[in-house]
Amino acid sequence: MTQASVLRDLLSQSIHIAPGCFDGLSARLIEQAGFDLAYASGGAISRGAGMPDLGLLSVSEVSDRMAQICDAVQIPVVADMDTGYGNALNARRAARRFMQAGVAAVHLEDQTFPKKCGHYDDKAVVPASEFCQKLRAVRDAVGEDLVLIARSDALAVQGFQATIDRCHAYAEAGAEMIFFEAPQTVVQIEEIGRLLPYPKLINMFAGGKTPMVPLEDLRNWGYRLVIVPSDLQRAAIGAMQSTLAAIRRDGDSSAVADLMPTFKDREAIIGTEKWNDLMRRFEE
């Protein structure tokens, strides 16, 4: 089975949470924690390069990171493809690069380029007809080898009903799943579930515009995928800041040793012994 087929099978059975990763190590930690899916967050990848989530990285930079992530895990990876990096032809080419990197799904959004984080203010969106061209171009390029997710950021720009109308058009253009970004109330989340009879993705994370909703409610409203894009990276930033403060203050990290895995545990996480075993095979 392709990774896209595995993903479709998983999402047909129940709702799933996909924590956000930004490199091979964070993806592997998600897999080792027992999650069935990982979400490769474009925003987290951008921040990992020291830049804000403003569409500043190129398709090559992002797709190379996607390949590293997919190579590190066996579970399906859902990837953030931003606006497709240009027009319909650019989106088509980007989707093929992401597919070659090994991802199971991509979500494509209807913001203008350069995009902004979905929970930033002052976003702008392209005409729905233009975005449908991108969706059709991507579907034509990848066939069934990628799950195609359409994301709309139109709520803050054009209002609730206009965004619902866009999402219907996006499903007709070939999207298998709908991602209505940044609803701000539980009532909106339930209404999206009622008005959009398609599998749905929702983005929920601490401090975002979207309220936290119990998984069972989301499942009943037709949501099948919950992404948590940046919490792992934010946790890593906090742990690194605490460790750096200890090193600067004390000259070493002894005061925060309980925050860190042991040397042995770190090597087990990244599979060093498996690589050593492989090397010994070739030395025989």
117 labelled catalytic: yes
53 labelled catalytic: yes
Residue 122 has pLDDT above 80, yes or no: no
267 labelled catalytic: no
In the set 16, 47, 107, 119, the catalytic residue is: 107
Q: Is 162 left (phi over 0), alpha (psi -120 to 50) or beta?
A: alpha
pLDDT at 1: 82
139 labelled catalytic: no
pLDDT at 113: 76
pLDDT at 124: 87
Mean pLDDT of 205-230: 93
223 labelled catalytic: no
pLDDT at 119: 63
pLDDT at 206: 85
In the set 109, 110, 153, 176, the catalytic residue is: 109
Structure tokens at 263: 């040397």
In the set 80, 110, 153, 176, the catalytic residue is: 80
The DSSP line for 94-150 is HHHHHHHHT-SEEEEE-BPSS---TTSSS--B--HHHHHHHHHHHHHHHTTSSEEEE
Residue 118 has pLDDT above 80, yes or no: no
Structure tokens at 252: 């070493």
Confidence of residue 166 (pLDDT cuts 50, 70, 90): very high
109 labelled catalytic: yes
For the chain, give percent helix, strand, coil, nearest 5.
50, 15, 35
Residue 120 has pLDDT above 90, yes or no: no
Pairwise pLDDT comparison (120 vs 228), residue with the higher score: 228
pLDDT at 209: 85
Pairwise pLDDT comparison (15 vs 283), residue with the higher score: 15
pLDDT at 208: 83
| Alpha-carbon span 197 to 178, nearest angstrom | 10
Confidence of residue 88 (pLDDT cuts 50, 70, 90): very high
In the set 39, 85, 170, 223, the catalytic residue is: 39
Q: How far is CA 45 from CA 32, 50, 210, 232, in A?
A: 20, 9, 22, 12
Confidence of residue 126 (pLDDT cuts 50, 70, 90): very high
pLDDT in tens, 46-87: 999 999 988 889 999 999 999 999 999 999 999 999 999 999
pLDDT at 247: 97
Structure tokens at 74: 């066996």
119 labelled catalytic: no
Q: Which long-range contacts (CB under 8 A, 24 or more apart) does 55-60 make?
A: 55/82, 55/83, 55/113, 55/114, 55/115, 55/116, 56/114, 58/85, 59/85, 59/90, 59/93, 59/94, 59/97, 60/97
Q: Are 138 and 174 in contact (CB under 8 A)?
A: yes
Mean pLDDT of 168-174: 97
Structure tokens at 190: 């339930």
80 labelled catalytic: yes
In the set 16, 28, 53, 97, the catalytic residue is: 53
Mean pLDDT of the chain: 94
Residue 246 has pLDDT above 70, yes or no: yes
Confidence of residue 112 (pLDDT cuts 50, 70, 90): confident
| Enclosing H/E stretch for 18 | strand 16-21
Q: Is 86 left (phi over 0), alpha (psi -120 to 50) or beta?
A: left
The DSSP line for 194-252 is HH--S-EEEE--TTSSSPP--HHHHHHTTEEEEEE-SHHHHHHHHHHHHHHHHHHHHSS
Q: How far is CA 237 from CA 47, 232, 234, 247, in A?
A: 11, 9, 5, 15
In the set 8, 85, 170, 203, the catalytic residue is: 203
Mean pLDDT of 29-33: 98
pLDDT in tens, 174-204: 999 999 999 999 999 999 999 999 999 999 9
Structure tokens at 158: 């054009």
| Alpha-carbon span 67 to 132, nearest angstrom | 27
Pairwise pLDDT comparison (26 vs 205), residue with the higher score: 26
Residue type, 61: E
In the set 82, 110, 153, 176, the catalytic residue is: 82
Residue 121 has pLDDT above 80, yes or no: no
pLDDT at 187: 96
